[in-house]
Structure 1
Amino acid sequence: MTSIRDLLGESLAIGDRVYLTLEERDGRLVADHPNDASPMDIAVVEGLERLEERPPTEPVAVELLDRVVDGRIAGRVVAAGREQND
């Protein structure tokens, strides 16, 4: 069985935090993976209550989770807007 860690290789590890610009695709907030070599984009599925706007106008801090949603790596918003500067 192939794990998500096998799919991603060393492009980004589960638990890593990255700043991403989100957009809405197919009713979900998603971002391009910051590593062009990655086979999967990122779907933000947790922490959405932190967002004042959907999609937000500024990049947000997203933590990568250990599962796949709709063919994308799942992510959680950990900081948005002013929270990033606190």
Structure 2
Amino acid sequence: MTSIRDVLGDSLAVGERFRLSLEERDGRLVADHPNEASPLDIAVVDGLDRLEERPPAESVTVEILGRTVDGHVAGRVVDSDRNGTA
């Protein structure tokens, strides 16, 4: 079976972490993908319990996961601290 990681891993940056600004779109927290070559934006689906407010006022560190959700690549919040430490 071919996974999204195999097909689009480089352009989607699966496994990479980025500081991103999140906004709410259609009931989901979403961020523009920082890689211009990515065909998908990021939907944050895991680690939401780390957020004090939704959407957060400050950017957060998000790790790109190897799956898609509703036409977005899935991500998880790994840190919501301004310093970006996990």
Shorter-chain TM-score above 0.5 = yes
- Following superposition, the deviation at residue 84 of structure 1 comes to 2.5
Separation (CA, whole Å) in 1 of partners of 2:60 and 2:81:
7
Deviations 1:25-67 (A, max 9, x none): 0000000000122100000000000001100011100011111
- Alignment partner of 1:78: what SS? strand
- Alignment partner of 2:13: what SS? coil
- What stretches of structure 1 move > 3 A for 4+ residues in a row? none
The one-letter amino acid of 1:51's match is: L
Which ranges in structure 1 are unaligned for 5 or more consecutive residues?
none
TM-score calculated relative to the size of structure 2: 0.86
1:50 matches 2:53:
no
Separation (CA, whole Å) in 1 of partners of 2:33 and 2:13:
12
The one-letter amino acid of 1:35's match is: N
1:81 matches 2:81:
yes
Separation (CA, whole Å) in 1 of partners of 2:14 and 2:60:
17
TM-score calculated relative to the size of structure 1: 0.86
